[in-house]
Amino acid sequence: MTVAILETERLVLRELALTDLPATREIVCDELTMQSRCGAWSEDENAEGLRKQLISYKEHSFGRWAVVLKGTNKVIGICGLQWCDADNDKVFEIGYLFNRAYWHNGYAAEAANACKKYAFHILKHDEVFSIIKDSNYPAMNVAIRNGMLIRGRFIKSYNGRNTQHYIFSVRRKA
């Protein structure tokens, strides 16, 4: 049984389960969706990525979650929180990837905003980040809509390819 973590007007964010492999495959094994990560994942990488999230739930009580469209029970994306490396530092990141059939509907911004509130009010973090490839303008727009500003940039390696990334963040208001 999967555990619901957050709910918004149109979405439910819940823990991923092994039964979500077909839905995550539609996202992470798609070349266009994964161009910000320098290429689509293989079936094995998809399964390993999902297993890592299951471990994160047990170890940290958070991770990347399935984004489910209310009324359909369809997993349309992956969004959540995790510790990430950014320019030789560990940051608490909100990350998001969505099935491209659901792009341009505001779902990423809605889910990311819910994750920000969860990080601030439940997990008591003072700042959250998003690490975004310099050519991923839609993801940058989500970060900006989430109140984030650019805090820096650095080179990140995906699949042996170095790419420029921006570090966005927002701080909790006192």
The per-residue pLDDT for 1 is 57
pLDDT digits (tens, 9 = 90+) for 50-77: 999 999 999 999 999 999 999 999 999 9
Is there a contact between 115 and 13 (Cβ–Cβ < 8 Å)? yes
**What are the sequence ranges of the domains in the chain?**
4-171
Average pLDDT, the chain: 92
Domain 4-171: top CATH class? alpha beta
Q: Which residue has the higher pLDDT, 38 or 145?
A: 145
pTM of the model: 0.92
**What is the CB neighbour count within 10 angstroms for residue 165?**
22
Q: Which range (37-46, 55-64, 102-111, 120-129) has the least confidence?
A: 37-46
Strands (E) located in the chain: 4-7, 11-14, 64-69, 74-85, 90-98, 127-133, 149-158, 161-171
